[in-house]
């Protein structure tokens, strides 16, 4: 099967959830199928991103593009102009006539079996009426994220802005999901939303995966018995909100029982409010970008996921589970993952309940070890990327009207 994969960015550095999922999915898919990767390229990728695209694609097609840097004059100008647009800004900023033409030209070669649009953002550049089937790969229910932003926003102006973006995103997402021939979600819960709320006639889901060979304890990193760790891109608003909520509402309660408890926040581009946490509190560490998250996870006693906003599924939880760490998460943080409270994860939404779950593990390392071992067994037995990619390829083949790809080879 020849897959034309449409994206808004090159994948290196592979340092955030969407890139991690796409990179591992494509690497596994390429073992049996041909992948042409067409993407916008704003020049902001890693210096070796073009060369390393050969790790996940047989053919790379780049379309030059320029995005406005956050908080730049152009960025604020685009936000102002977007007031008069029916599109949410998170989508409108990726409009590209050149990408649309590139997709049409690649399909016109006559070798492509299916077009996969990766995330909602580039979908406005996928032409209608292509002579091949189209699949929208939805890592989240995007409107749900904006709704949750509106629910937790501080201040009337912020609430009004997020509500309007939510309204636009919901309308656009519904229309796009119904325009594509098939929608693939990353959880059964998201799939059901697309079917029931959006009326999508053809939708399926693939499980979240993890590289179970890469994410495995080395045995060479000493555990810090009072350390909690969070990993994630800190320039993503849900992660920033979650850490601020955790440090404001949960961490003081933990320290009532465990005064020396430390927090390590690992992830790229932490904004000023996150960096300030470490400046005020010597027991909070903010690393910024790191070459490898595994030592930080292995060093920690507990992995925390205090998210109040989000959609899709969190890869970071499966990564921590594969590293044999006990995870404490909000229900939203673990949403869509096949985990069991008390068996391979602990779930809590109220600040005191979250604090009690964490302190209980810090005070009982044997219990944390048992939960971590159960978690590792779950992901290693069922959620490696090869298995996930087989499911994804099978759904693409069915959407394209081909036989199951689990029985066919590369074409």
Q: What is the 3-state secondary structure (H, E, C) of the chain?
A: CEEEEEECCCCCCCCCHHHHHHHHHHHHHCCCCEEEEEEEECCCCCCCHHHHHHHCCCEEEEEECCCCCCCCHHHHHHHHHHCCCCCCHHHHCCCCHHHHHHHHHHHHCCCCCEEEEECCHHHHHCCCCCCCEEEEEECCCHHHHHHHHHHHCCCHHHHHHHHHHHHHHHHHHHHHHHHCCEEEECCHHHHHHHHHCCCCCCEEECCCCECCCCCCCCCCCCCCCCEEEEECCCCCHHHHHHHHHHHHHHHHHHHHHCCCCEEEEECCCCCHHHHHHHHHCCCEEEEECCCCCHHHHHHCCEEEECCCCCCCCCHHHHHHHHCCCEEEECCCCCCCCCCCECCCEEECCCHHHHHHHHHHHHHCHHHHHHHHHHHHHHHHHHCEHHHHHHHHHHHHHHHCCCCCHHHCCCC
pLDDT confidence of residue 352 = 98
Does 112 score more than 60 pLDDT? yes
Mean pLDDT calculated for residue range 96-100 = 98
Mean pLDDT, the chain, integer: 92
Does 259 score more than 80 pLDDT? yes
Residues paired with 30 in a beta bridge: none
Mean pLDDT calculated for residue range 224-235 = 95
Domain ranges of the chain: 2-209+384-407, 227-382
Which tens digit of pLDDT belongs to each residue from 147-181? Answer: 988 888 888 988 998 899 999 999 999 999 999 99
Does 409 score more than 60 pLDDT? no
pLDDT confidence of residue 313 = 74
Percent of the chain with pLDDT over 90: 79
Does 405 score more than 80 pLDDT? no
Does 411 score more than 70 pLDDT? no
Residue for token digits 């790969």? 137
* Beta strand pairing call for 114-118 and 133-138: parallel
Shared fold status for 2-209+384-407 and 227-382 = yes
Mean pLDDT calculated for residue range 193-219 = 94
* Beta strand pairing call for 182-185 and 284-288: unpaired
pLDDT band at 268 (very low <50, low <70, confident <90, very high): very high
Does 406 score more than 50 pLDDT? no
pLDDT confidence of residue 410 = 30
pLDDT confidence of residue 404 = 52
Q: Which CATH class is domain 227-382?
A: alpha beta
pLDDT band at 403 (very low <50, low <70, confident <90, very high): low
Q: Which of 72-86, 210-224, 395-409 has the lowest mean pLDDT?
A: 395-409
Q: Which CATH class is domain 2-209+384-407?
A: alpha beta
Residue 299 exposure: Cα atoms within 13 Å on the Cβ side:
15
- pTM to 2 decimals? 0.83
Percent of the chain with pLDDT over 70: 97
Mean pLDDT calculated for residue range 271-276 = 96
């Amino acid at each position: 099967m020849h897959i034309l994969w449409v994206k808004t960015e090159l994948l290196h550095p592979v340092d955030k959830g969407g890139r991690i999922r796409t990179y591992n999915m494509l690497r596994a898919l390429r073992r049996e199928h041909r992948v042409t990767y067409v993407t916008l390229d704003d020049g902001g990728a890693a210096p070796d991103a073009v060369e390393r695209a050969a790790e996940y694609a047989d053919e790379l097609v780049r379309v030059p593009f320029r995005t406005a840097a956050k908080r730049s004059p152009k960025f604020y100008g685009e936000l102002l102009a977007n007031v008069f647009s029916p599109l949410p800004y998170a989508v409108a900023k990726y409009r590209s006539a050149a990408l649309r033409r590139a997709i049409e030209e690649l399909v016109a070669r006559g070798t492509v079996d299916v077009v996969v649009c990766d995330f909602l953002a580039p979908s406005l550049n996928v032409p209608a009426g292509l002579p091949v089937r189209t699949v929208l790969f939805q890592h989240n229910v995007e409107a749900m994220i904006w709704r949750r932003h509106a629910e937790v926003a501080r201040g009337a102006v912020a609430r009004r802005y997020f509500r309007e973006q939510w309204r636009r995103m919901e309308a656009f997402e519904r229309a796009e999901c119904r325009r594509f021939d098939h929608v693939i979600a990353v959880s059964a819960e998201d799939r059901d939303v697309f079917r029931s709320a959006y009326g999508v006639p053809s939708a399926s889901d693939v499980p979240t995966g993890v590289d179970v060979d890469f994410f495995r304890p080395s045995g060479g990193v000493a555990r810090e018995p009072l350390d909690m760790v969070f990993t994630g891109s800190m320039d993503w608003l849900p992660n920033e909100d979650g850490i601020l909520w955790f440090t404001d509402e949960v961490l003081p309660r933990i320290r009532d029982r465990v005064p020396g408890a430390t927090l390590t926040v690992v992830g790229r581009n932490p904004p000023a409010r996150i960096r300030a946490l470490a400046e005020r509190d010597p027991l909070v560490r903010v690393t910024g970008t790191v070459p490898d998250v595994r030592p930080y996870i292995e060093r920690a006693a507990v992995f925390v996921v205090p998210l109040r906003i989000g959609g899709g599924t969190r890869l970071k939880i499966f990564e921590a589970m594969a590293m044999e760490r006990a995870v404490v998460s909000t229900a939203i943080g673990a949403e869509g993952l096949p985990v069991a409270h008390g068996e391979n994860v602990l779930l809590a939404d109220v600040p005191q309940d979250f604090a009690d779950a964490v302190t209980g593990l810090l005070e009982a390392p044997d219990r944390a070890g048992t939960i971590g071992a159960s978690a590792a067994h779950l992901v290693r037995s069922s959620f490696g990327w090869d298995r996930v990619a087989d499911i994804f390829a099978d759904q693409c083949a069915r959407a394209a009207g081909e036989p199951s790809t689990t029985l066919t080879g590369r074409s």
